[in-house]
Structure 1
């Protein structure tokens, strides 16, 4: 990976010695290079905001399983608007490569759509836990 990081996701484990409880906190960090390399300007405010919300649901492999209602609630917008924003983000390409892909299948039993699975790809420079973003 290049030393020129754009965005990362960091976790912090906190242990309260008085209560004995542990808490994991997750942070999305934007590096100045994300601005200098043009990612933020190219992506635009709505796609950037939507990517940050999806990242808050991300596991170590970059997979996210939020519902449209969860995304809409986190963005403080209507579900239909959230759906359009997610579609725009999935259509977006950074340096010719997708940043997020969406996969959705129908249930074999009911033929209803199952919840979508979003995968934040390494080209986005978002990685969580021990994942490694790519610079290629």
Structure 2
């Protein structure tokens, strides 16, 4: 198995201003390391869970927290909400090195008692992290 401290993948978020359109644009890049593909997480997780993890990571902040709506996830996966929910459920149940990659938390709004959007946390074991262009290793 891959050493858990070895970086498997990283996510780079890049914002730039488009002079032509006058709009800010954000791009997200996922860097995959060879060991992850050959014998690590990517080799084990399967295509659907990997795609779902990549989509979910496009919403994450530097702490690994994600707050997308069901419609946002479904749209990004090009699936119905029901199919996207099945994918998220499978991803949350998946274990890498006996630990979850993604933890889902649901809470009710204390004022309205309605369910808030689920919060997903992409755990450090996934080795997915926001890469801001700094070459320092993430700890």
Q: TM-score interval w.r.t. the shorter chain? A: 0.7 to 0.9
Distance of aligned partners of 1:46 and 1:133 in 2 relative to their CA distance in 1, 3 Å threshold = farther
| Contiguous gaps of at least 5 residues in structure 2 | none
Q: 1:127 aligns with which of 126, 129, 132?
A: 129
1:61 aligns with 2:63: yes
User: In the TM superposition, what whole-angstrom CA distance separates every residue of 1:37-81 from its partner, at most 9, and x where no partner exists?
Assistant: 231232111110000000110111111100111100111111011
User: In the TM superposition, what whole-angstrom CA distance separates every residue of 1:83-129 from its partner, at most 9, and x where no partner exists?
Assistant: 11101111111011110001111122322211000011111010004
2:73 alignment counterpart: 71
1:84 alignment counterpart: 86
| Contiguous gaps of at least 5 residues in structure 1 | none
Decide whether the 8 Å contact of 1:65 with 1:116 is kept in 2: yes
Q: CA RMSD of the aligned region, Å? A: 2.5
Aligned counterparts of 2:62 and 2:70: Cα–Cα separation in 1: 21
Aligned counterparts of 1:58 and 1:40: Cα–Cα separation in 2: 19
TM norm structure 1? 0.83
Aligned counterparts of 1:115 and 1:26: Cα–Cα separation in 2: 23
